[in-house]
Every structure is written in C-alpha cells, then in structure tokens.
Chains A and B, each alone.
Chain A
Amino acid sequence: MNEKMNSKILRTLPREKAFYFFTSIGNYTGESATSLKEFTDKINEVNVKSLEFHFYRGDFEKWIAEVLEDKELAEQIGTLRKMSPIGEKLKNGLHRILIGRYSRLRSTF
C-alpha cells in the first residue's frame, strides 16, 4: 500500500461524514469520530452497548470501507464478528485491531 493511500485513510473527514455512536435506534450518545485515530480512541471511551449495537449491524465495517475507504481494516473487523464477542472482549478486540492498523499506516510516513 502506498503512502498516498495511507494518508487518505488517515485523513480527517468533514462532520457530515463522521461516525456517530448510538446505543440503539435513534439514541445518539453525543460521541462521534471524524478520523481513524479518533475512532480508535472513541472505541475505548463509548459505552459497550453502543459498540455491540453498531458491531452486529455491520456499521463499523460499512463506515470504514465506504467512508474511510480502508477495505483491509473492514475485513479484519468482519473476521472478528465471526467470533461473536460481546462486552469488554468486543471492546478489547476492536481496539487491538484498530490500534494495530493505525500504527501500521502511520509507520509508512
């Protein structure tokens, strides 16, 4: 993967393209992320109920693949879903994948 593509994935998005964390249909937590870095940080901060809600709807993969345009990371999250993690296991699993991916992308600069 080249530097140009990596920097695209790491860019900061406009507010309307941010990821908005909900705990259920229509219940917005007030937390949002406009970049992969912010998304990675927020995974540790938001209520685990919100993570479970989005994870099992496929919202994380969708946003990462379609908005951040990181297909590889989206696939890694899809693989995690096959293991059906919940609660802290889900939080830790997501964070581990995201921090790993973020570090690899950053290391190319």
Chain B
Amino acid sequence: MKFKNNTVALDATDLRILEALQENARQTYTAIGKSLGIAHSTVYDRIKRMERHGIIKEYTAVIDAERAGAKNIIAIMTIFTDPKESDKVAEKLCEAPQILEVYTSLSEELLIIAKVVAENQESLHEFIASSVAPLPGVLRIRTSMITKKFKETRFSIANNPKQLTFIKEKSNK
C-alpha cells in the first residue's frame, strides 16, 4: 500500500483481500489467507491498515427488505436546481431519513438524483411536497417510481477489472 497525492495505492494482495471481504466479510483471517495463499498475519495487518486509512469503511449486513416483510415503495427523484443552491439542496436531502442515496449530475442543467423510500404513494407525495419542493433553489422535480428490480449490486473491486489489472501491473514493477 503506497500513498500518492493523498490517495492510497493498493497492491494486488490488498485488492484480493478486499474482494474476499466483499464476497463474505465474516470469514476469518485464516480462511482469507488460506484462499489467497498468504499468512493470516499478513491478512490481519493489511485489513487493519485499510481500516485505519478509511479504505474499509464499515462491515454491514445486506438485508432483503422484501423478505423481511417491508412493503415500501422506492422512487428516483430528479431534481432540477439553481446551480448556486445545488450543494445546499443535496446536503439538506442527505439529512432526511427517507432519502437513501443522493448524487449530483451535470447534463444540460444541474441535477440532483436521489433515491427515496416511502410507505406508500401518498406518503411519498407528502414528503416531496412538504420537504423537497420548498427547499430554496429547487426548480422542478421529476419522480419515477420503481416497479421492478432487475439488478442491484454494490460497487466491488471485481466490478472494475481494468483498475485491478493496472495496479497489478504497477505492483509487479
């Protein structure tokens, strides 16, 4: 693991450890070491270093809300904003527990894209009308309700093989 321009460069072993943790974060250092052909103490040291440097942010449980009986609806809001107010709108959205994800995007206009959860259509509308539309800088809102999910994955090191190859090559030098 090397530092360059405030970012941490990971070597191939770090990436393989991260990949293993993303597959199953509950496996032991010994199990990871065994599957990668390295000592468990190496796995331990590298994981601790990556935790310290904020590369591993947290270990969490992925819950299937539907199976857990939750009958919520999920919607994607596209919020057109005044560019001067955009960051403030995004920060305010982040404070609401109904908002799951917030992104900004610059296409023809500055947009905020946010994923929102609500009990039903009425509570979704109530939330948007009373908490999002009144925010200064909100110009208009388009909301699409999600009806069917075809794929949902979280970012994984394995999803980005180009980066992996680049660092592997770099670490081989």
Q: Does A28 contact B (CB under 8 A)?
A: yes
* Residue contact B143 to A20, C-beta cutoff 8 Å: no
Assembled-state Cα–Cα distance A27/B133 (Å): 10
Assuming the contacts A20-B129, A22-B125, asked whether A27 and B136 have C-beta atoms less than 8 A apart, the reply is no
Decide: A25 and B133 in contact? CB cutoff 8 A: no
Q: A20-B129, A22-B129 are in contact. Are A27 and B134 (CB under 8 A)?
A: no
- Which one of B121, B132, B134, B139 lies within 8 Å of A18 (CB-CB)? B134
Q: Which residues of A contact B134 (CB under 8 A)?
A: 15-16, 18, 20, 32
Residue total for B at the interface (Cβ-Cβ under 8 A): 20
Give the complex CA separation of A20 and B80 in angstroms.
Answer: 15
Check A27–B143 contact: CB distance below 8 A: yes
CA distance A20 to B129 in the complex (A): 7
Instruction: Name A's interface SS.
Output: strand
CB of A27, distance to nearest CB on chain B (Å) = 6
**Residues B124 and A25 in contact, CB atoms below 8 Å apart:** yes
Contact residues on A (Cβ < 8 Å of other chain), bracket: 10 to 19
**Residues in A whose Cβ lies below 8 Å from that of B125:** 22, 25-26
Listed in ascending order, the chain B residues whose CB lies under 8 Å from chain A are 75, 77, 80, 121, 124-125, 128-130, 132-134, 136, 138-143, 145
List the interface of chain A (C-beta within 8 A of B).
Answer: 15-16, 18, 20, 22, 25-30, 32
The 11 sampled A-B contact pairs (Cβ below 8 Å) are A15-B136, A16-B130, A20-B133, A22-B129, A25-B125, A26-B77, A26-B143, A26-B145, A28-B138, A30-B139, A30-B140
